[in-house]
């Protein structure tokens, strides 16, 4: 899980042996020391002041817009020299079900107010931006961070360290910034990030909608919505059919729900359902699939408008190969012989082929991380994430290991997971570990403190250090890891 960092210019020999060159070098160093030579300058990222001067918000606009994107900067009373640059998650392009709340457009500099207060108290400078558009706005998110970083340097101060972080789509944006700007990014913390990128995740959303259409709601439209309203109507009608199927044990509907979830490795825990019983597991599955269907319909409409067509397909997908023996046993226990019937129906259905031009544009602009990590990076993901499944981290780890072999990833990657309790009440739900980006403020702060200690002091976070930082109420579980990406053909 951890990469290795080569120590340049160091030659090791067997214990007790010393080369002539090494002896000569030591003698030279003694002479230089005796002559009073100056100690080497401490790298900027290693500076340790806790009261770094800056131009305050009484003289600089710390809340305004840059190139059409609102931004927010918050400065502590005493600054430790670290700038935390935050990228927010996905925001619907238009009011979305179930409540159709107005779309969010404000800038935020942290994931929540409690986290922000703790970070400011610790001496961090916080900065964050909205994007000039909502939806799958990865390109806009990267540009907003670039603009805000430059504004901070030009008007507030030059940070000793710039660490970037974000959650959900903001986690993907964080990764894209880190890969694009190693010259000013000193460390990165993508949280619950879409680390497999846009196309693999939209392929999974298509898998859900295709299976719902084939097995439950034949009138469902999969791609090419003429309007946002048409996409919302498809979600609404599909959800009615999905809920009805979930309670239809004798008619095979419940087995269909479990089968669809198995195709995409949807978690059996969610924010409101702990999955501790079959009934709770089915309810959790419905909640997870409802979220997936949102991205398969009204979010897909925005995405297809942005990229000029449909970037995802399932024409080469082998759905039968995705059902494990344990999943088959559960499905067939609910309805005898269901798995083979469902496999046959999906194989016989009309598959979808991606539009090549749209796929190319999505990969170029919508986020396709290469995991070329050159600076310290630590991720955190809930084990039971119904929207951005935790297997995104496996996908990313596979790419990271390939980049290591190719020599394009030269810094370690640390991945952490939080696991929900075995049981918890439906309301208020899981305290951590289940649900999308359901972390405690203490967990967020711990991850960023670990990253700063790594960047500033060279302390690579190990299990003991992470456990100490996260505490006992975060759900951190060093032994837990996600399985493989559901689609074995994805790269």
Least confident range of 48-62, 96-110, 314-328, 418-432: 96-110
Q: ∠ CA 51-57-61 to the nearest 5 degrees? A: 145
Identify whether 98 is preceded by a cis peptide bond (ω within 30 of 0): yes
Q: Summarize pLDDT for 233-268 with one digit per residue, the tens.
A: 999 999 999 999 999 999 999 999 999 999 999 999
Whether the Cβ atoms of residue 300 and residue 223 lie closer than 8 Å to each other:
yes
Tell me how far CA of residue 436 lies from CA of 226, 387, 431, 432, 489, in angstroms. 29, 6, 12, 10, 25
> How far apart (Å, rounded) are the C-alpha atoms in residues 388 and 198?
11
DSSP letter assigned to residue 337: T
The secondary structure of residue 127, as a DSSP letter, is E
Q: Domains of the chain by range and CATH? A: 63-194+368-470 (3.40.50.1820), 199-361 (no CATH)
Mean pLDDT on 462-471: 97
- Mean pLDDT of the 61-68 span: 97
Q: Of 25, 122, 129, 123, which is closest to residue 67 (Cα–Cα)?
A: 129
Q: Calculate mean pLDDT across residues 217-244.
A: 96
Q: Which residues contact 209 (CB under 8 A, 6 or more apart)?
A: 220, 222, 238, 292, 293, 296, 297
d(CA 419, CA 481): 10
Give 59's contacts (C-beta < 8 A, 6+ positions apart).
none
Under 8 Å between Cβ of 476 and 417 = yes
> Residue 31 — pLDDT band, cuts 50, 70, 90?
very low
Number of H helices, E strands in the chain: 15, 8
Place of tokens 């952490």: 416
Beta strands in 285-421 (DSSP E): 377-382, 413-418
Q: How far is CA 405 from CA 187, 377, 401, in A?
A: 21, 18, 6
Residues 420-429 pLDDT 10s:
999 999 999 9
Transcribe 179-192 into DSSP letters: HH-TTT--EEEEES
- Distances in Å between the Cα of 227 and the Cα atoms of 97, 206, 223, 295, 439 are 15, 18, 11, 15, 35
Q: Are 87 and 97 in contact, with CB atoms under 8 Å apart?
A: no
Using pLDDT thresholds of 50, 70 and 90, give the confidence band for residue 91: very high
> What number is the average pLDDT over the span 429-434?
98
Find, among 393, 362, 377, 358, the residue nearest to 448 by Cα.
Answer: 377
Does 403 score more than 60 pLDDT?
yes
H or E element that contains 385: none
């Amino acid at each position: 899980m951890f990469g290795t960092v080569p120590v340049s210019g160091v030659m090791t020999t067997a214990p007790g042996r010393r080369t002539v060159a090494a002896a000569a070098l030591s003698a030279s160093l003694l002479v230089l020391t005796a002559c009073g030579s100056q100690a080497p300058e401490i790298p900027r990222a290693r500076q340790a002041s806790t009261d770094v001067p800056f131009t305050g918000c009484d003289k600089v606009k710390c809340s305004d817009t840059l190139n059409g994107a609102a931004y927010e900067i918050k400065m502590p009373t005493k600054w430790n020299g670290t700038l935390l640059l935050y990228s927010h998650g996905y925001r619907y392009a238009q009011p979305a079900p179930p409540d159709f709340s107005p779309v969010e457009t404000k800038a935020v500099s942290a994931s929540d107010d409690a986290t922000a207060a703790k970070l400011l108290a610790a001496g961090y400078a916080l900065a964050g931006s909205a994007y000039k558009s909502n939806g799958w706005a990865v390109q806009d998110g990267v540009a907003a961070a670039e603009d805000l970083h430059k504004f901070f340097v030009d008007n507030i101060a030059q940070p000793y360290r710039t660490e970037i972080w974000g959650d959900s789509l903001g986690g993907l944006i964080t990764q894209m910034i880190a890969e694009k700007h190693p010259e000013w990014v000193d460390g990165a913390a993508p949280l619950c990030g879409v680390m497999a990128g846009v196309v693999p995740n939209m392929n999974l959303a298509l898998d859900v909608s295709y299976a719902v259409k084939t097995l439950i709601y034949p009138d469902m439209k999969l791609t090419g919505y003429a309007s946002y309203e048409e996409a919302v109507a498809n979600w609404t009608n599909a959800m009615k059919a999905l809920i009805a199927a979930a309670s239809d044990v004798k008619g095979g509907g419940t087995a269909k729900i479990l089968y669809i979830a198995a195709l995409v490795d949807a978690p059996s825990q969610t924010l409101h359902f702990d999955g501790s019983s079959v009934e709770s597991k089915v309810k959790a599955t419905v909640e997870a699939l409802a979220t997936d269907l949102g991205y398969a319909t009204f979010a897909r409409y925005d995405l297809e408008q942005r990229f000029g067509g449909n970037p995802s397909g399932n024409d080469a997908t082998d759905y039968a190969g995705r059902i494990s023996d344990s999943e088959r046993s559960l499905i067939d226990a609910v309805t005898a012989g269901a798995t083979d019937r469902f496999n046959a129906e999906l194989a016989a259905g009309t598959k979808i082929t991606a539009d090549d031009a749209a796929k190319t544009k999505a990969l170029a602009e919508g986020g396709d991380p290469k995991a070329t990590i050159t600076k310290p990076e630590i991720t955190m993901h809930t084990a039971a994430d119904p929207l951005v499944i935790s297997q995104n981290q496996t996908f990313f780890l596979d790419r990271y290991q390939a980049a290591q072999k190719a020599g394009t990833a030269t810094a370690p990657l640390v991945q952490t997971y939080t696991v929900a309790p075995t049981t918890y009440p439906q309301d208020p739900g899981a305290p951590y570990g289940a649900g999308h980006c359901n972390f405690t403020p203490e967990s967020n702060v711990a991850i960023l403190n670990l990253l700063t200690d790594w960047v500033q002091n060279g302390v690579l976070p190990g299990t003991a250090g992470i456990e100490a930082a996260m505490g006992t109420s975060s759900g951190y579980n060093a032994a837990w890891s996600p399985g493989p990406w559901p689609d074995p053909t994805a790269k």
